[in-house]
Amino acid sequence: MSKTSTTNLTVEPIRKTKDVKAISRLLQSRPRDYLLWVMGINNGLRAKDLVRIRYRQVEDTKIGAVINIIETKTGKNNVLVINKAVHKALQGYLAEIEPAPDDFLFKSRKGNSHITSQSVGRMVRSWASDINLKGQYGAHTLRKTWGYHQRTRHGAGFEILCKRYNHSSPAITMRYLGIEDREVCELLMNEIS
């Protein structure tokens, strides 16, 4: 698993669907935060890359649109995909603001810059706390939540998650997402003969 840079703690995904839905409900009245949450858990990008998206990159996008980005950490190409949930959250947010083409989508309330990944970490911890979720959460929780649910609910293999995360091997992705003892025990309950 990866460590957060500011607190040196391992952060977790939001594992339970009911908790994902609870945070979504919590953020419904905060369009910017809701979009960040929805975009994060639906794309698996680093918070550092999400916060750098500018309005011109998503202006007039339709469901299925693919936006090319360059990862800040690796310099590698990656994509942001506008699925139905992201599109709906994006439209809700854009109805609330009047951005200029070069404005950051997740503009800081202080100055003309974007919010920081450290701010995203604080926000995620606050959202988890607001729904009484115990554990270690931070900016990488958004990315890990995407991977966890792709793997456990949609059957995505570590190889494809590795490609999405731009990791160098599936072993790194396995460590990043973490496998709980409970999952191993459930696997061992599968009968072969």
The per-residue pLDDT for range 67-118, each reduced to its tens digit, is 999 999 999 999 999 999 999 999 999 999 989 999 999 999 888 899 999 9
113, part of any domain: yes
Could you tell me the pLDDT band of residue 178, with boundaries at 50, 70 and 90?
confident
Which residues, listed in sequence order, are joined to residue 54 by a DSSP beta bridge? Answer: 104
Structure tokens at 181: 């003892």
Give the Cα separation of 115 and 153 in Å (integer): 31
What pLDDT score was predicted for residue 172? 87
The total number of structural domains that make up the chain: 1
DSSP 115: P
Phi, psi of 147 (to 5 degrees): -65, -40
Give the Cα separation of 125 and 134 in Å (integer): 10
152, part of any domain: no
Is the confidence at residue 66, as pLDDT, over 80?
yes
38, part of any domain: yes
Structure tokens at 100: 């200029």
Structure tokens at 148: 């966890």
Kindly report whether the global pTM for this prediction surpasses the value 0.85: yes
CATH number at residue 125: 1.10.443.10
175, part of any domain: no
What pLDDT score was predicted for residue 9? 60
177, part of any domain: no
